[in-house]
Amino acid sequence: MEDYMEVWNDTEETKERLELCRERLEMMKKEQTVPPEYRGFFASQAEKLLRIFDYAKDVEDGTFAGLSPEECKARFDGLYEEILPQNYGESFSNPAYAVKLFGKRYGRLLTYVAAKLNAQIFYAAEGAVLFVVMAAELLIELYNYFEEFHEYTFKECREALYSFETDNAELFLAWRAREQFDPAYTFVKDIIMESDETDLRYLYRYGEYITENELKVAEFLRNLSEQEIKAAAENVVGGYLRGFTVMRVPLAKGQTVGLRYAIGFERIMKEVIRLLEAEGLKVASVRTAVSGRHARKAGYTVTNVNIQYDYDHRNDEGLLADKQWYVRKETAAHRVYEAQRDVLSLYAGPLVLETFGERLPLPENRGEAIVLDKRQQRLKVEFTGRLGAMMEQYIPSDKTSFTIVAYPLPSIGAEFAEIFEQTLCLNQLDNEEYRKVQQCIIDALDQARAVHVTGRGKNHTDITVQLWKLNDPAKETVFENCTADVNIPVGEVFTSPVLAGTDGVLHVTSVFLGSTEYKNLEIVFKDGKTTAYSCENYAVKEENEKFIKENLLKNHEWLPLGEFAIGTNTVAYTMGKKFGITEVLPILIAEKTGPHFAIGDTCYSYSEDHKVYNPDGKEIVARTNECAELRHTEPEKAYFHCHTDITIPYDELGEITALCGDGREIVIIKDGRFVLPGTELLNEALQEN
């Protein structure tokens, strides 16, 4: 990031600006020059920034590293004071409280500012003091407008925020790209490799709020044997390397692997880095974005501190966003990616260690929170699509791979240690054994024109999925035989369905998607496209529909059925039942515990023209659908940039039947048990229930 390093390293000028800000912030705490009702807000935000300034200084000169664990926690309690659940009720970071005090217009504006300032803690931890100074200067500018409060103050403040976000978009994005793709930026790697499991103070170096989960998992891993740690690391690195082999994508020495993991797992990640570097690979890691943490954690992260806070601020850009906003963001992205073309070209894809075990409350839909109106929703969807297409130019999907593995958190319950041990075993199930069983299922499905899936009991699923027709069955196949490479653990066969004629109802009585439970989720498909949806999370029908549209459809008017799969990992299913943790299993594991249906893009998005083969040598020809085919004529309509798997568990499953063109019906599963010859092994684990 040579073009930006000069700006970031201009420490003398930054220090001068910091001291000027410090003086002004100290005055703001005492002055009474803004209207009385706003003095508390500006005084508290000035105090917050002064704390962050002090924290940044102590990080830089090493003082923070010398604090005791108790002192570190106390320091972070002060830094994160506004968003901790016990304080959130009367916090300016809480839109409901801010709107109550200041009214809708000013309440939303000021709670936006409070959340923006909270994010400066992360920059301080990483030594990016310039960004903290810029945020302080923004607060001072807003304060100046309030000192001369009049009917145009809201407009002036909004314009100041707009300019701050758009004028600096390139600088902010360049920093994030540096974290995500450039192995020369070693902030995270240094923490991992220098971590001392006997001294957990290293956890506070990230700048994240460290919870009991991070402390307890680090303590737990400290007591595992070297052999167990090595096995876990070899498992995920082996899967990562196999992914390139399966996809027939070359992986050259010097390429960069993006590490995404949960803080607390450093002992495993340290061994992962050693193994990757032994292969001649480099690593980079990016922090999970501040916005959107309630739903998706794409980076290194901690468990949720306050899910209501994350949810309340998920759409903060709605305060400012218009067409020009997205144009300027897109222009900034293009300039950054173009400047870093060489760095991006070496990115091989992410290696992800996810976690599960958080039982989070359903966040409230608060009317005071900032929202995206319909026009903004459309603009954001279009912007996301263009940004995805732009990234594809610099990091082509058919040149990368990935792998994902998951482990439990201590919050899963008293049986955490036993669940962790069984997850270790689950993640290392025999690939070859499952490959043979799954091939039996694929051989049956390759004879079919469609698959009919029904539920049983309270599950009223009834859907027919249309399949690709094979031109040369001796050399082609419809389903991918998925073992433990890109997705660990082993256990599914999947395809991209034909949309035309894919009709019916998908229903699950309860399913966790992300960290949120959906009760009685129902989606109706016509010609492979969602036409209606509902759940029972909230008392009002319209609230449920709005919740699904925002969180599952990602504000699209409809989504196609991008994937149909049959999960075969009955061991994972049994583990979930045994410990009563089925509802908190991540989709990575849950998708293997029954048939699953993904709404959004196919598994091969942007790589449809890259040939993929099963272990038996047959080419998987079902890599596209009617939407993805538009990439040749109307590329802006081809992709939706989302993919959400929804699984029907075996105990809610009535039947999966392959419907053949000659009228034959081949039953794969009946009443939650595998009945197809050659799949008997999969029922052994189910006998334990």
pLDDT, residue 517, reads 84
What whole-number distance in Å separates Cα of residue 387 and Cα of residue 606?
13
- Please determine, for residue 2, whether its predicted confidence score (pLDDT) is greater than 60: no
Residue 485 lies in a domain: yes
Does 294 have pLDDT greater than 90?
no
Domain boundary among 113, 144, 167: 167
Residues 577 and 511 grouped into a single domain:
yes
Q: Which long-range CB contacts under 8 A does 294-298 form with residues at least 24 apart?
A: 294/363, 294/514, 294/515, 294/516, 295/514, 295/515, 295/516, 295/551, 296/514, 297/260, 297/354, 298/260
* Structural domain includes residue 44: yes
What stretches of 286-334 adopt beta strand conformation (E)?
none
Dihedrals phi, psi of 284, to nearest 5 degrees: -145, 160
Residue 296 CA to chain centroid, in angstroms? 3
User: Structurally, how many domains does the chain consist of?
Assistant: 3
Using the structure block, give the residue that is written with the tokens 């209501």: 308
**Pair 111, 211 in one domain:** no
CA distances from 218 to 250, 297, 483 (A): 35, 20, 29
pLDDT confidence of residue 1: 47
- Determine the Cα–Cα distance for residues 612 and 196; give it in Å rounded to an integer: 43
Q: Check pLDDT > 70 for residue 688.
A: no
Q: What is the pLDDT of residues 341-385, one digit of tens each?
A: 999 999 999 999 999 998 878 888 889 999 999 999 999 999 999
Token pair of 189 as six digits: 């790697």
Average pLDDT of 87-92? Answer: 97
**What's this model's pTM, rounded to 2 decimal places?**
0.91
Q: Of 139, 167, 195, which residue is a domain's last? A: 167
Same domain, yes or no: 269 and 142 = no
User: Among residues 534, 525, 508, which one has the least CA distance to residue 652?
Assistant: 508
Q: Is the CB of residue 528 less than 8 Å from the CB of residue 498?
A: yes
Query: Six-digit token pair at 226?
Result: 């070297």
Do 142 and 224 belong together in one domain? no
Confidence of residue 295 (pLDDT cuts 50, 70, 90): low
pLDDT of residue 516: 79
**Which residue spans within 203-294 are E strands per DSSP?**
256-260, 282-285
pLDDT digits (tens, 9 = 90+) for 9-34: 567 889 999 999 999 999 999 999 99
Helix (H, G, I), strand (E, B) or coil at 470: coil
Tell me whether residue 490 is in a domain: yes
CA dihedral 5, 7, 13, 18 (to 10 degrees): -100
Q: Verify that 450 and 594 share a domain, yes or no.
A: yes
Q: Which domain holds residue 534?
A: 429-686
* pLDDT tens digits along 573-615: 999 999 999 888 888 898 999 999 999 999 999 889 989 899 9
Pair of tokens at residue 611: 């040939």
The verdict on 161 and 191 lying in the same domain is no
Residue 14 counted as domain residue? yes
CA–CA gap between residue 70 and residue 468 (Å, rounded): 61
Q: Is residue 451 part of a domain?
A: yes
Indicate whether 640 and 522 sit together in one domain.
yes
User: Strand pairing of 498-513 and 492-495?
Assistant: unpaired
Q: Are residues 614 and 678 in the same domain?
A: yes
**Is 356 found in the same domain as 216?**
yes
| Strand partners of residue 660 | 448
Mean pLDDT of the chain: 93
**pLDDT given for residue 290 in this prediction:** 76
462 within a domain of the structure (yes/no):
yes
Residues 147 and 223 in one domain: no
- pLDDT value, residue 587: 86
The reply to whether 156 and 284 lie within a common domain is no
Residue 423 lies in a domain: no
Pairing of strands 516-526, 498-513: antiparallel
What pLDDT is recorded for position 293?
A: 61
Phi, psi of 609 (to 5 degrees): -90, 0
The answer as to whether 301 is a domain residue is yes
Alpha-carbon span 74 to 201, nearest angstrom: 13
Strand 347-356 relative to strand 619-620, pairing: unpaired
Identify whether residues 116 and 225 lie together within a single domain.
no
pLDDT of residue 8: 59
Tell me: pLDDT of 229 over 50.
yes
Q: In the numeric block, which tokens belong to residue 149?
A: 């409060």
